[in-house]
Amino acid sequence: MLKETIVFEDLKKSMQGNCLYRGHLQIFVEILNFCQEPQVKTRVMYQTNISYKMLQKCLLQLLGFELLEVHHSVERYATTKKGHEFLSKWKELQELLQP
């Protein structure tokens, strides 16, 4: 129940254009969008404008949800097919919730 509440609050915050802080879902979306081509960790951190500590947490969660994968040759992160599906559903949800 708590997890669903956090997700809903994140969604509400991301739908409001005037909020100062991004929710976890919005950060996840930004990471997945940026990693459509494999990216190194540093570039992901700078592009999404988050701290290294927050990046570590987000990457672990995205990897755990199988929305992101690691290319071990040079440790690059790339959005998976499931991640692309998530982005598609996210866009649909945003369109649905627009006033």
Position 74 scores a pLDDT of 81
Q: Check: CB of residue 33 under 8 Å from CB of residue 64.
A: no
Let me know if residue 17 belongs to a domain. no
Q: Provide the number of structural domains found in the chain.
A: 1
Task: State the greatest distance between any 2 C-alpha atoms of the chain, in Å, as a whole number.
Answer: 45
Let me know if residue 15 belongs to a domain. no
Let me know if residue 14 belongs to a domain. no
Find the domain containing 90 and state its range: 2-9+24-97
Let me know if residue 33 belongs to a domain. yes
Position 23 scores a pLDDT of 86
CATH number of the domain bearing residue 65: 1.10.10.10
Burial 16-40 (b: 16+ CB within 10 A, else e): eeeeeebbbbbbbbbbbebbeeebe
Let me know if residue 81 belongs to a domain. yes
For residue range 16-49, what is the model confidence (pLDDT) as tens digits? 554 557 888 999 999 999 999 999 999 999 999 9
For residue range 62-77, what is the model confidence (pLDDT) as tens digits? 999 999 999 877 889 9
Position 13 scores a pLDDT of 56
The pTM of the full predicted model, rounded to 2 decimals, is 0.79
Does residue 2 carry a pLDDT above 50? no
Let me know if residue 39 belongs to a domain. yes
Position 41 scores a pLDDT of 94
What is the Cα–Cα distance from 54 to 33, expressed in whole angstroms? 17
